[in-house]
């Protein structure tokens, strides 16, 4: 038993980086961030809708159904996206996004850990972008796959500043 404790203590000492407290992403936050990211990426879909609506408004008596059909299809598209994101936690591929995890920052990358010995490594090259807002950082792998790291999970303000300095060095945030 003492030997196991020494090994675990050694592993913790070997890690040179920042370890956060545990955090679980809320489905409402996920839906809001994913919808915003997807709508930013697929903004051109609304141009198609406008291109269909404008002739319907110009020739209103000739094509009145164009306005209704275009508005209906655009609304259905947004509603289906919202339903998909809202139910992402029920899909096997999305389970990892909603588990209670802690993060470990180091020079090689970001480690998303469920337990001390179970998790995944994300190299900084895999992270497409990082957004900093009033509540924390959001690491985007794709517009719908991301990790939210709120400021409250950092154990101290120095850890938060060090993590931000690592991201600035890699030109992930401005």
Q: Tell me the domain boundaries of the chain.
A: 34-89
Question: Residue 112: beta bridge partners?
Answer: 103, 120
Give the whole-angstrom CA distance, residue 111 versus residue 122.
6
Residues ≥6 apart with Cβ < 8 Å to 84 = none
Burial zone of 146 (CB within 10 Å; 0-12 exposed, 13-18 middle, 19+ buried): buried
- Residue 61: its pLDDT value, please? 62
pLDDT digits (tens, 9 = 90+) for 9-60: 434 445 567 899 999 999 899 999 999 888 888 888 888 888 877 776 776 6
Tokens in use for 174? 């401005």
Tokens in use for 79? 């509603």
Give the whole-angstrom CA distance, residue 77 versus residue 104.
37
Is the Cβ–Cβ distance between 163 and 105 less than 8 Å? yes
Give the whole-angstrom CA distance, residue 74 versus residue 133.
29
Give the residue-averaged pLDDT of 61-90: 82
User: If pLDDT is split at 50, 70 and 90, which confidence band does 64 have?
Assistant: low
- Residue 63: its pLDDT value, please? 67
Measuring CA to CA, which residue among 16, 18, 25, 17 is closest to residue 150? Answer: 25
């Amino acid at each position: 038993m003492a030997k196991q404790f020494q090994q675990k203590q050694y592993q913790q000492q070997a890690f040179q980086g920042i370890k956060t407290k545990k955090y679980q992403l809320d489905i409402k936050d996920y839906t809001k961030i994913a919808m915003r990211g997807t709508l930013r990426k697929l903004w051109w879909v609304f141009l198609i809708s406008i291109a269909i609506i404008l002739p319907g408004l110009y020739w209103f008596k000739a094509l009145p159904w164009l306005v209704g059909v275009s508005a209906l299809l655009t609304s259905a598209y947004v509603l289906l996206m919202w339903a998909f994101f809202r139910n992402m936690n029920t899909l096997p591929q999305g389970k990892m996004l909603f588990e209670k995890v802690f993060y470990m920052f180091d020079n090689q990358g970001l480690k998303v850990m469920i337990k001390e010995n179970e998790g995944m490594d994300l190299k900084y090259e895999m992270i497409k972008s990082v957004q900093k807002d009033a509540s924390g950082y959001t690491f985007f792998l794709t517009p719908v796959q991301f990790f939210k790291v709120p400021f409250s999970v950092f154990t101290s303000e120095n850890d938060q500043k060090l993590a931000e300095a690592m991201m600035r060095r890699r030109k992930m945030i401005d």
